[in-house]
Amino acid sequence: MNHVLLLPILIPLFSAGVIVALPLRAKRLQRALNALAIIALLPVACLLMARAAQGEIASYALGAWPAPFGIVLELDRLGALMLVLTAVLAVCCLLGTSSEDARRGRYFRALFQFELMGLNGAFLAGDLFNLFVFFELLLIASYALLLHGGGARRVRNGLHYLLLNLVGSSFFLVAIGVLYGVTGTLNMVDMGEHLARLGPETLPLAQFAGATLMLVFGLKAAVFPMSFWLPQAYRSAIGPVAALFAIMTKVGIYAMLRCDALVFGAAGGVLDAFMHQWAWWLAIATIVFGALGALAVSSLKTTTGYLVLVSVGLLIAAIAQQTPLAWSALLYYLISTTLCTGALFLLADTLEPEPAPAPRAAHAAQAAVSADANADANAIEPGSLEALDDAAALAFSPDPGGEALATLARVQPPQIETAGALAVLAAQPAHAEAEAPVDAAPRTRAPWPSNLAALLYLIAAVGAAGLPPLSGFLGKAMVLAATPTGAAGVLWPAVLLSSLLSIVALSRTGTRLLWAAPAARAAAGEEERAPRGSNAKLAACAALLGCVVAITLGAGAVRHYLTDTAAQLFDRAAYVHAILPAPRSSPPAAAASTADAQGN
């Protein structure tokens, strides 16, 4: 029995249970157990990947009930790849999580473990119902992690996220029920065998259920027009949680890839028309929407959220092509974009930190003094990133008559003094420095943002935008090279335009965070101080970007593994042989063979 297949699920399950059971005062024990469980997932995932790289499709039948009747976990090259990517991202998020981040909620570490359990279970599930179960587990944990830290903004964005995913889960069950009624099974491999033999009278019903299932996965992956929830939801999460969420959208991509290959037969299968017509154009629309959204916002987390949408669109466009070459290219790009966007989310917590909550007495006094100002600011939450966006926009386009500064003074609370100083600096005339020289105060701390933070931002931005020489460029080039001539006329302009707009958006955000904001603080005489936990987050970001450099330098070896992965997905016979039991001889055939033997 392949008991090791259970470890990616059991390790976070038991660690989460123990963390919840421990008393609150056992902080060090909770922290140590959480770290030990997350770090243990990495060698386990690497061990499973080494096993899958040999071409073996391993399975584990829970309770010794064989497929298709029992619950089966399966491991192939694709599942092992996603397990390793999740483990790497989880270790980096652990490194970038400060004690202050964890103290914002009581069950942060337990919820993080449940999230990992749901992710790993989804990558190992061999039937649709257990895929749904693990989907719901990771989504429930993500609801709580999204609300971690509290605040009206998180509650509002979390509610949108919750409602949309509940609707998607309902349609998920409907699609599973229809497919079960048509085929009589829930095992993916067995369902694919039944769908391949469907008659014309039930084929339309199966196509309807399959299209519904793909749209549900599209909602989980945030494909347009079901993508409006993602930028604001990811913006609300703290940095380590948002970085882990970078792979959560890829679960929808994984599910589309898995089901299209095993259940619906990929090219020429049940959903061939839907993938080439509907999924393709929805992917193009997602690319364009994500690029325009990144250009329309200014905060780093929101910009990164829209870049996630750009990557989702390109990944679905590659899935819709239904060729091994396109699928191997999309897997390479999936690794790159997950690592780059995860690094940007961690950087956002250091370059654009969330204001610390004020003490209750000070908060009450501030609320009493600024009640009228808040009412005039169209109910913008004090200290929120919405206010920071507005302040930054005014800073780059100040009103010569002073109205912009007056508006900024109405909407900004004391927590965003940096943006206010930026607006003041932008509104000063060019000769103001000569008229009123300011004696520079001696610095007692290292300048912030540091040169390391700026370098990491540059590397992450280059990778996320898809510029050479990093893996983001290689991944996009691979996808474009795999695109047929007829579709290239649509995909190439969309990808090139989105890359250009992404460069503009990231350049503008980097200019504000790395040059304009520090200059404003220096002009205001403020001490340059790094936020708490910045060194840990920078180290985690450096680790993720080190992985980006590694897959760039080792692109040949990585591409070889991914080519074998895509070829394995198209070999349905191998899955049938590995997952389903060998067919038994029918009684008439057995009797005939016995009679022949006796006659001889």
**3-state class (DSSP) for residue 73:** strand
* Number of Cβ within a 10 Å radius of residue 418: 23
Q: What was the pLDDT predicted at 319?
A: 92
Tell me, yes or no, whether 504 lies in a domain. Answer: yes
Look up residue 107 and give its two tokens.
């069950």
List the structure tokens of 555: 């692109």
DSSP 127: B
CB-count burial class (<10 Å; 0-12, 13-18, 19+) for 472: buried
Q: How far apart are CA 32 and CA 55, in angstroms?
A: 36
How does DSSP classify residue 62? G
Q: Residue 61 belongs to what H/E stretch?
A: strand 58-61
In a domain, 512, yes or no: yes
Name the token pair of 171. Answer: 């349609």
Cα angle at 163 between 213 and 160, to 5 degrees? 120
Nearest to 340 by CA among 216, 476, 431: 476
Q: Do 230 and 249 form a contact (C-beta atoms < 8 A)?
A: yes
| Alpha-carbon distance values, 186 to 131, 204, 477 (Å) | 10, 19, 37
Element of type H or E holding 148: none
The whole-number pLDDT of residue 533 equals 66
**Identity (one letter) of the amino acid at 71?**
I
437, exposed or middle or buried, with CB in 10 Å at 0-12, 13-18, 19+?
exposed
- Tokens 């029918």 belong to which residue? 586
Element (H, E) at 290: helix 280-296
Q: Tell whether 592 is covered by a domain.
A: no
Angle between helices 27-52 and 7-21 (to 10 degrees): 180
DSSP per-residue letters across 447-491: -SS-HHHHHHHHHHHHHHHT-TTSHHHHHHHHHHHHS-HHHHHHH
Spatial separation of the C-alpha atoms in residues 596 and 150, rounded to whole Å = 77
SS3 438: coil
Buried b (16+ CB within 10 A) or exposed e, 350-378: bbbbbbeebeeeeeeebeeebeeebeebe
CB atoms within 10 A of CB 580: 17
Are 444 and 524 in contact by the 8 Å Cβ rule? The answer is no
Residue 152 CB neighbour total at 10 angstroms = 11
Q: How far is CA 581 from the centre of its chain?
A: 36
- Using a 10 angstrom Cβ sphere, with 0-12 exposed, 13-18 middle and 19 or more buried, the burial of residue 140 is middle
Per-residue pLDDT of the chain (600 residues; tens, 9 = 90+): 478 889 999 999 999 999 988 887 888 898 899 999 999 999 999 999 999 999 889 888 887 787 788 888 999 999 999 999 999 999 999 998 877 777 777 788 899 999 999 999 999 998 899 999 999 998 889 888 888 877 777 888 778 888 888 898 999 999 999 999 988 888 888 888 888 888 888 888 888 999 999 999 999 888 988 888 888 888 888 888 889 998 988 999 999 999 998 888 766 677 888 888 888 999 999 999 999 999 988 889 899 999 999 999 999 999 999 899 999 999 999 999 999 999 999 998 888 876 655 444 444 444 444 444 444 434 444 333 444 444 444 433 333 333 333 333 334 433 434 444 434 334 444 443 444 444 444 444 555 667 888 899 999 999 999 998 999 999 999 999 999 888 888 999 999 999 999 999 999 998 888 887 777 777 777 666 666 667 888 999 999 999 999 999 999 999 999 999 999 998 888 888 888 876 654 444 444 444 444 444
Ordered alpha helix ranges (H), 96-197: 99-102, 108-124, 128-146, 152-183, 188-196
488 lies in some domain = yes
CB 257 within 8 A of CB 569: yes
Three-class SS state of 125: strand
Position 340 scores a pLDDT of 94
Identify whether 469 is preceded by a cis peptide bond (ω within 30 of 0): yes
Distances in whole angstroms, Cα of residue 255 to Cα of each of 22, 32, 82, 172: 35, 33, 11, 12
Segments forming the whole domain that contains residue 195: 3-353+451-578
Q: Is residue 339 part of a domain?
A: yes
Q: Is 378 left (phi over 0), alpha (psi -120 to 50) or beta?
A: left
Cα 206 to Cα 392: distance, rounded to the nearest angstrom: 51
Distances (CA, A) of 464 to 442, 492, 505, 506, 536: 37, 17, 11, 9, 22
C-alpha of 498 from chain center: 19
| Residue 425 to residue 512: CA distance in whole angstroms | 12
Give a yes or no: residue 306 inside a domain: yes
319: in domain: yes
Which pLDDT score is estimated for 121? Answer: 94
Task: Match 């590995």 to its residue by tokens.
Answer: 578
**Residue 40 counted as domain residue:** yes
Helices H, strands E: what count in the chain? 29, 2
- Residue 339 CA to chain centroid, in angstroms? 9
User: What is the number of domains present in the chain?
Assistant: 1
